[in-house]
Amino acid sequence: MATTLAPVHLNRKVEEFLSQKRKMLIGGQWVEAASGKTFDTFNPATGEVLTCVPEGDREDIDRAVKAARKAFEEGPWPEVSPAQRGRLLLKLADLVDKNHEELAELETLDNGKPVFFSRIADVPATADMFRYFGGWATKVEGTTVPVSMPGAKYLAYTLREPIGVVGQIIPWNFPLIMASWKLAPALAVGCTVVLKPAEQTPLTALRLGELILEAGFPEGVVNIVTGFGETAGAALAAHSHVDKIAFTGSTEVGKLIVNAASGNLKKVSLELGGKSPNIIFPDADLKNAIPGSANAIFFNQGQCCTAGSRLFVHKNIFDEVIDGVAAFTKNFRIGPGIDPANNLGPLISQEQLDRVCGYLDSGAKEGAKTVVGGHKIGDKGYFVEPTLLVDVRPDMKVVREEIFGPVVAAIPFSDPNEIAASANATTYGLAAAVWTRDLSTAHRMAAKLRAGTVWINCYNVFDSALPFGGYKQSGWGREMGHDALELYTEVKAVCAQI
């Protein structure tokens, strides 16, 4: 059962933040939507309104793009040296650390996730991302290139230049982290940005906007427009003065972004959905593989693009693993994330709760057996039980489609040589994991799995330095690591006859 909200003393700055009418950031100013409209953002643990934010739409996006364009072309941003850009990012990282508790509580209230994780994962990972890319700002280099055209001598080299004005659209599952994945590399290389947070979780992006100004980024370099995907998001993706769009969210909306971007052929990078295979071989160390596989699906209430939602287990250990994962779910204390005693929070919204419950119904109708979980919890907030399904078939919706909730389908296998093919039988290719003590099995599988990330004897290990992105319909391009610099730069070849 979900626990009710114990009296929690919020950080004073959080109360202050929520008590004021929030505005959005355009051209260095905190402004209302041109239409004057606002919308509410909710606490998913209670369904109650936290505060309201401006409902930016096409006109506001246009204002923000103009501000970003002016900042990119006129300055002072173009004159800011790489070393200064690096220092600004490091300052921002320090400010994230300095406001750690406020950001953690705000993230938990708006998104629902346990504050334990906001404190140890979301906020520190955000600071780390700004710090990591702060280091890259001075290391974005071109090359010299030998040119063999006869009859003259040439000096040729490449410049790696900022791509220009960037639109960035992010989801609600890791609001702060997603903002940092997008902003940090773009700012490191000298782009300017219009960021649109998800309608469900606009608050930490707005607080981050305050810290960006406090760090000293010039006006117009970062603009943050709150609003809905169908209006503000679509306008940003289609805007003819935006040079690049970076999107994280559903594969369905990713395809809309690609279409919208075609008007001016802006560059596009996409980080989309997944249906990641998590494979346990018979020789695996089950002491680690069982809790690791439970966390692979239940972390963040299953609302992870990398969620290990298809659990393939060798038939010899299938029952032991199923019993272990089922038993592990009893460790969860489910309730409002702001109560530090809880380690599993609500889903993000009524809509997401309905979606996940729809999959639970469809699984049951198609003949899947529920080992544990299977129901929503209570009437307040958007809680659902961690759920383990067996007796599933490859054609079932619960096996094919991204559920984005704490629901895992377990599938036994017998032939280790055929498991890669079953694991790859999906339109997605974001992540995968293998659990084995055999080095050859581990690395042979790593090579065979068609996924942007393969974990061996671990799951959901991320690092600012590790490139992340998808094969197949899980996306285009790689975020994080030095690969992310390519998303936000153009290469210019310069050739001089000497």
Residues 173-212, mask of contacts with Mg ion (x by CB under 5 A): ---------------------------x------------
**Chain center to CA of 409:** 23
337 burial via Cβ count (<10 Å: 0-12, 13-18, 19+): buried
Contact pick of 110, 128, 402, 479 for ligand NAP (by CB under 6 A): 402
Q: Which amino acid is at 120?
A: I
The tokens describing 440, both together, are 């050859």
Task: Report yes or no: 259 and 462 within 8 Å, Cβ to Cβ.
Answer: no
Which residues are marked as active site? Answer: 271, 305
100: Cβ–Cβ under 8 A, 6 or more apart, which residues? 119, 123, 124, 127
Taking the complex as a whole, how short is the minimal distance between the CB of residue 263 and ligand NAP, in angstroms?
A: 13
Comparison of 250 and 424: residue with beta carbon closer to Mg ion: 250
Contact pick of 383, 404, 435, 468 for ligand NAP (by CB under 6 A): 404
Helices (H), 154-222: 175-189, 203-215
Contact pick of 28, 112, 233, 373 for ligand NAP (by CB under 6 A): 233
Comparison of 342 and 426: residue with beta carbon closer to Mg ion: 342
Taking the complex as a whole, how short is the minimal distance between the CB of residue 237 and ligand NAP, in angstroms?
A: 5
Taking the complex as a whole, how short is the minimal distance between the CB of residue 252 and ligand NAP, in angstroms?
A: 7
Interatomic CA distance for residues 260 and 262, integer angstroms: 6
Residue 220 interaction partner, one of ligand NAP, Mg ion, none, beta carbon < 5-8 Å per kind = none
The tokens describing 437, both together, are 């003590």
Interatomic CA distance for residues 307 and 460, integer angstroms: 8
Comparison of 61 and 90: residue with beta carbon closer to ligand NAP: 61
229 binds ligand NAP per the rule CB under 6 A: yes
- How many CA atoms does the CB half-sphere of 214 hold within 13 Å? 15
Q: Which amino acid is at 340?
A: P
Residue 41 interaction partner, one of ligand NAP, Mg ion, none, beta carbon < 5-8 Å per kind = Mg ion
Comparison of 35 and 288: residue with beta carbon closer to ligand NAP: 35
Residue 280 interaction partner, one of ligand NAP, Mg ion, none, beta carbon < 5-8 Å per kind = none
Interatomic CA distance for residues 319 and 256, integer angstroms: 43
41 binds Mg ion per the rule CB under 5 A: yes
Q: For the chain, how far is it from start to end, CA to CA, in angstroms?
A: 77
* Interface residues toward ligand NAP, by CB under 6 A: 169-173, 196, 198-199, 228-230, 233-234, 237, 248-250, 253, 256-257, 271-273, 305, 355, 402, 404
* Interface residues toward Mg ion, by CB under 5 A: 41-42, 110, 200
